[in-house]
Structure 1
């Protein structure tokens, strides 16, 4: 081989080597990062018989950790990934938290719930079961996304929750129960609202009252759904009255007092809030009838204020309907 030929061969080899380097796979350190799950359980605490608290870190809540209380059915075993239970989501009201139902009612002792997984999620002191508007920027808190996407998937993959679900709640949680059933068709088989905020756009009194709740933690009240005039479409999208058509095929239970002193109240106690919510519930019931809903049960029981004694009673009253939808009763 001549010197010139050797030089040409060496040049060719250098070119081939450069091509091999260019075509080689990228080092592992440069690979695209694997996305973290939307929610993950970071703590598990047994707080009482059949009561387990999960600490859940949520991307929808800006990476914060919030708690979810489970009231577990007989035979529940989180390690048994093959068994899934009918699920009742039980939502708390404004000024409460994930412990409210077990601390204020007898829900943990109800025999008919021993074959049901009851999910009681944290929803913020005044979170309103919504992904907050935040001046159009969205983001934290996104309670609706946390509950209906992150938490639902987590519970169904790792904690025995089944795909047959119903949802109920009181006050703010009553609104949330109707919103989730309406805004996520097929997710819930039935819904119940006790003294729920079910038509916040009813009139100026109702709007001003809920704006006051929105501002209850020193927040700008427009962070939640925006301005009730400028962002009326967002308000309507979170107003069960304006979503009545989406509820017409579901079993719906509505109950409320009229705000006057009732049989479960101390003498002389009244509630302007309950009176407002009573008018809202009456309006929603009429709208459900107008759109052709055929599975609505109402218990507008007259005298009664905004209190736990009534909500415990109404949970018991609505359970037969909810359990039939779960195919448990």
Structure 2
């Protein structure tokens, strides 16, 4: 078991319903080409501190996969870049950046695999960054019962990877962040915890209120950690005894900090909607609760005076067609915030 994995040696059971949670359907193997050896091209130069790129894999003219050796994770992790048209590394040229965060039980390939993000951004002069976030990493530096240490996903994304991208891949200082489900949590948590780092944030079916209705929200999060074999209190501790740790990551509790940037929040209510195939069963246990979380989150944001565009669209399940639509509906907001006319 990797050093970053706070699970016992025997993993928990795999369940289709759990995999639907925060991830959607249809994982497929990513195509690959021969990776560059460490020490070639930017793999040699894009090093910041101890974190470094150990391999590059150019899948197409616009898709570049990086393998990053991360001290924060104590292992390697992947990041997929969707490059602006005509991109080449230039010492004095930078591009605005859009971070896209994936859901649980999924990975860095999900956005290009399951949406038209490549076509959507074809004419936008933006660098799209889609990093690994762990199967259930929750975009956090894990508390680990007060001991800290790996996995430190926030440090990996916002310090190690960001500096690598700025040093060797043309990432500029204008950034927006968006994500689906667990990634929607990550987008709002990252933006709220790091004022000034992002100029806009969007969440699609995001887990945006982790302490919703007392024990109901924590139980929702911890159930999936338990079923996947994780210690449920290693992430943020006990939700009562370590309430401050939970609150410091919870988008709902970060509403005031989020009020300074444009926000987009979307979710359904779990009943089959217009983008679901005929005969789709309800996903009430997932999207219904997430819809309630988002309704409470939007209300809290508005009370805090936030500039939030809410798309609480009612019928709709926890699945990719709605998240792709959310990306489209929020795209101009995200691009305008980082200085791109889209």
Q: Same-fold call, TM > 0.5?
A: yes
1:163 aligns with 2:176: no
Deviation at 1:113, TM superposition (A): 5.3
SS at match of 2:234: helix
What CA distance in whole angstroms lies between the structure 2 residues aligned with 1:305 and 1:122? 24
- Select the residue among 233, 244, 257 that pairs with 1:246: 257
How many residues are paired up? 292
- The CA deviation string for residues 250-282 of structure 1, in whole angstroms up to 9 with x for no partner, is 100000001111111132421121110111111
- On the 8 A contact 1:126/1:216 being kept in 2, the answer is no
In the other structure, the counterpart of 1:22 is: none
The within-5 A match list for 1:132-281 is 132-203=142-213, 204-266=215-277, 267-271=279-283, 272-281=285-294
Larger radius of gyration between Structure 1 and Structure 2: 1
The structural deviation recorded for 1:249 is 1.2
Given that 2:208 and 2:250 are in contact with CA atoms closer than 8 Å, whether structure 1 keeps it comes out as: yes
Structure 2-normalised TM-score?
0.83
Report which of the two has the higher share of helix.
Answer: 1
Gaps of 5+ in 1: 1-34
Partners of 1:192 and 1:252 within 8 A in 2? yes
The CA distance in 1 between the partners of 2:171 and 2:121, in whole Å, is 19
2: CA distance between counterparts of 1:139 and 1:61?
A: 8
Q: Aligned partners of 1:241, 1:36: CA distance in 2, in Å?
A: 33
Return the alpha-carbon distance in structure 2 between the equivalents of residues 163 and 229 of structure 1.
Answer: 38
For the structure 1 residues 111 and 199, does the alpha-carbon distance in structure 2 shift closer, same or farther, using more than 3 Å as the test? Answer: closer
* TM-score scaled by length of structure 1: 0.86
Task: Output the CA distance in 2 between the equivalents of 1:36 and 1:52.
Answer: 19
Work out whether residues 124 and 340 of structure 2, in 8 Å CA contact, stay in contact via their aligned partners in 1: no
- Tell me which residue corresponds to 1:8: none
- Greater relative contact order structure (CA < 8 Å, 6+ sep): 2
For 2:295 and 2:227, locate their aligned partners in 1 and report how far apart those are by CA, in whole Å: 26
Per the TM alignment, residue 112 of structure 1 is displaced from its structure 2 partner at its CA by: 5.5
User: Counterpart of 1:256 in 2: which secondary structure?
Assistant: strand
Residue 86 in 1 paired to residue 99 in 2? no
The match for 1:31 is: none
- Measure the CA separation in 2 of the matches of 1:214 and 1:111: 34
**Separation in structure 2 between the aligned mates of residue 310 and residue 268 of structure 1, nearest angstrom:** 14
The residue aligned with 1:9 is none
Q: Which runs of 5+ in 2 are unaligned?
A: 1-46
Equivalent of 1:61 in 66, 73, 78: 73
After TM superposition, where is structure 1 displaced by more than 3 Å over at least 4 residues in a row?
111-114
How much does 1:114 deviate? 3.5
Of 203-212 and 166-175, more deviation after overlay is shown by: 203-212
C-alpha contact (below 8 Å) 2:63/2:83 kept by paired residues = yes
